Amino acid sequence: MGNPNAEFDLMSENLDELVKKGLGIFAVYRDSILSYKLDYIKHIVNKIPSSILDYGCGSGLYTSYMKNYFQSAKIYGCDVSNKSIEVAKANHPDCEFITISEVNDLNVYKDKIDCIFINCVMHHIEPEEHSKWLTGLYNTMKSGSYLIIFEMNMLNPLVRWFVKRTPIDDNATMLKALYCKKLIKSIFGEDGEIKLRYTYLFPWRNKFFTKIEYLFSRLPLGAQYYVAVKKK
């Protein structure tokens, strides 16, 4: 894996175009790919969070979707890429973004956040640092708050095709769902209620397809998966 700071500094102003390029013929479903996770956040948390931290927010690509979906929520974002944070601040001055370089930088969020959202970020972090950063996030969480990790399901052949053609993931180490679940368990122990589900079985988003997706969510069929934990 390369240096994510340098890589994402270079991508900070054209991240959206790189995402579209990677999607190829599926770029027409870009909005559903980005926005469907907000439905899952609401479903998992079972309410509208009053505050959300977008950990590894990059240039704020997801921020617009969050602001429109959770209009009453306070949106925070952090990233190791300073140039990406500069772009995010310029595009979303009503949200709060910071650059982080060490775990202690996360202390600014202590007891402030209802939901920590980690969207396809973990595979860009060196595996030996996963526990360090997730433990730092755990230490900021208040009782009843959630941490939700979304990652790519590499058991899905279309996902493997997508990852191979996406410049963003050139130096990434893709993660198995059970690895993420085990990692969360090692940090939260008995202090967390953990759930693993597979998502994005269909690019078409409506109540009918969403219901079917929920029914098959325990099977590794969807393009992505989430591991969610509620801190007791």
Task: Kindly give the residue spans of alpha helices, DSSP state H, lying in 141-228.
Answer: 157-164, 177-188, 207-215
> Is the per-residue pLDDT at 10 higher than 60?
no
Q: What is the CATH number of the domain that holds 141?
A: 3.40.50.150
Range of the domain at 43: 4-231
Cβ neighbours around 195 below 10 Å, total:
15
Q: Which residues pair with 65 in a beta bridge?
A: none
> Is the per-residue pLDDT at 225 higher than 90?
yes
> Is the per-residue pLDDT at 18 higher than 80?
no
> Is the per-residue pLDDT at 1 higher than 80?
no
> Is the per-residue pLDDT at 191 higher than 70?
yes
> Is the per-residue pLDDT at 38 higher than 60?
yes
Backbone conformation region of residue 144, classed left if phi is above 0, alpha if psi is from -120 to 50, else beta: left
Average pLDDT, the chain: 88
- Mean pLDDT lowest for which of 11-15, 60-64, 102-106, 122-126? 11-15
Could you report the per-residue pLDDT of 111-139, keeping only the tens digit for each?
A: 999 999 999 999 999 999 999 999 999 99
Dihedral of alpha carbons 40, 45, 47, 49, sign: negative
Query: Could you tell me which of 204, 199, 202 has the C-alpha nearest to residue 217?
Result: 199
What pTM did the predictor assign?
0.90
- In one-letter notation, the amino acid at residue 20 is K
With tokens 């078409």, the residue in question is 204
Q: How many CA atoms lie within 13 A of 146 on its CB side?
A: 24
In this prediction, what percent of the chain has a pLDDT beyond 70? 87
State the pLDDT at residue 35.
82
